[in-house]
Homo-oligomer: A and B are copies of this chain.
Amino acid sequence: PAEGAAESVIAPALPPLLDLAGTAVFALSGALVAARLKQTFVTLSFFALVTGVGGGTVRDLLIGVRPFWLDDQWVAPLIFAVALVAWFTPRRWWEGALLEWADAAGLATYAVIGTAKALAYGVAPVPAVVVGVISGCAGGIVRDLLAGLPSILMRPELYVTAAALGAALCALGSVAGLPPAPVWSAAALAAFALRGAALIWRIELPAYSRQA
């Protein structure tokens, strides 16, 4: 892949701020899970870190570039700040609804950035959507695996579907030649809205229910 070319194109187009936003919201969800499990501050930071950078790391390894946080001085302070917030504020500020919504924001953000970055590195649209879905879901999967919780994939409300919606809209907009910034915003909002609607109204797709 023409990485040199891609990087000069992508540098302005995919501001690291987006990666930091996805990292921050997933990091909060990781820290909250560790707090609920009564872990120490260091373990809480580790959960924040791994959940926060998990999706972006899987994405970058798949695309074949060095994971973004290795060349970014802001990720570590950000994770630390998120962990401090989770440690020093009452858990009821975050528990229940907020944890789900932080996860939803991470899911939407990473699904769209993952697709956009894969496209920018020359991945074809369909596999780019797959990269987006995987990088959106990876953070929550890693967090639940580390914590020994049932995977978020298994909850009845739409989850992978929301990531797939965001990733597909992002790829469609790019194929149609629309300007990136509005496409990414709309795609992330759509994914977030669908996951949010699923949380509020317990929207579920029909589950497999065939009699054996």
Contacts and interface: CB of A to CB of B under 8 A. Distances in A.
Is the contact region of chain A dominated by helix, strand, or loop, or is it mixed?
helix
Contacts of A153: 39, 43, 46-47, 146
Contact of A133 (B46, B159, B212): B46
A183 interface: no
- Copies of the chain in the assembly: 3
Interface stretch (A4-12, A14-22, A64-72): A64-72
A50 interface: yes
A38 to B, nearest CB: 5
A53 to B, nearest CB: 8
Interface of A: 1, 34-35, 37-47, 49-50, 57, 61-64, 66-67, 69-73, 75-76, 87, 90-92, 95, 118, 123-124, 126-127, 129-131, 133-134, 137, 141, 145-148, 150-151, 153-154, 158-161, 164, 204-212
